[in-house]
Homo-oligomer: A and B are copies of this chain.
């Protein structure tokens, strides 16, 4: 060890950030010490506040510092009577950026994975069940990831919807816009063919 103990601690602590190894952590530590102590102090405060105060929204389970997130709290969002099921809060951000969806969300914070001990109760599907019973919902849009676990999760939730007599739809899988057929995997191409629509 050739840096001071506190600098070593800082370098070690920065390695908790995803994608940051020993070399990047060292660069970050010295960069902050040399050039941006105010920014680092601000980051320290915000990090603390965020970790202490951000919990899951009681209605849709996304991250928020309030009891109910700002999307669930928006009365205009109830009008569409649609609810979109996603795996993570980042998916909500991605969908919100398209400006296409005006309904509410339910964030699973994962997907069904029995091998990891993640079942319906870990995903709080009981909360979703209550929403399906209590709220006016016409359509459940299943926007879980197109992976084996995501598909299984979508299938499980579609059965919950069926019992309640609510229509469940799955987002389309196919060739990404701007993609070239040549480079698309066979599985996606099969989806693109079976899911073809009238032109």
A-side residues, CB < 8 A to B, are: 2-7, 9-10, 13-14, 16-19, 24, 26-34, 36-37, 39-54, 63-66, 69-71, 88-90, 92-93, 96-97, 109
Contacts and interface: CB of A to CB of B under 8 A. Distances in A.
B41 A6 contact: no
A37 B28 CA distance: 20
Contacts of A70: 4
A51 to B, nearest CB: 5
Contacts of A27: 18-19, 90
Nearest to A69: B4
A25 to B, nearest CB: 10
Contacts of A54: 4, 6-7, 33
Given A2-B92, A65-B6, A48 B42 contact: no
A26 B66 contact: no
B3 A46 contact: no
Given A10-B46, A16-B42, A41-B52, 7 more contacts: A3-B89, A6-B65, A7-B54, A13-B42, A17-B31, A19-B24, A26-B90
27 contacts: A2-B71, A2-B92, A2-B93, A2-B97, A4-B65, A4-B70, A5-B65, A6-B65, A10-B47, A13-B42, A14-B43, A16-B36, A16-B42, A17-B28, A18-B31, A19-B24, A19-B28, A26-B90, A26-B93, A30-B88, A33-B54, A40-B47, A40-B50, A41-B47, A44-B44, A44-B45, A45-B48
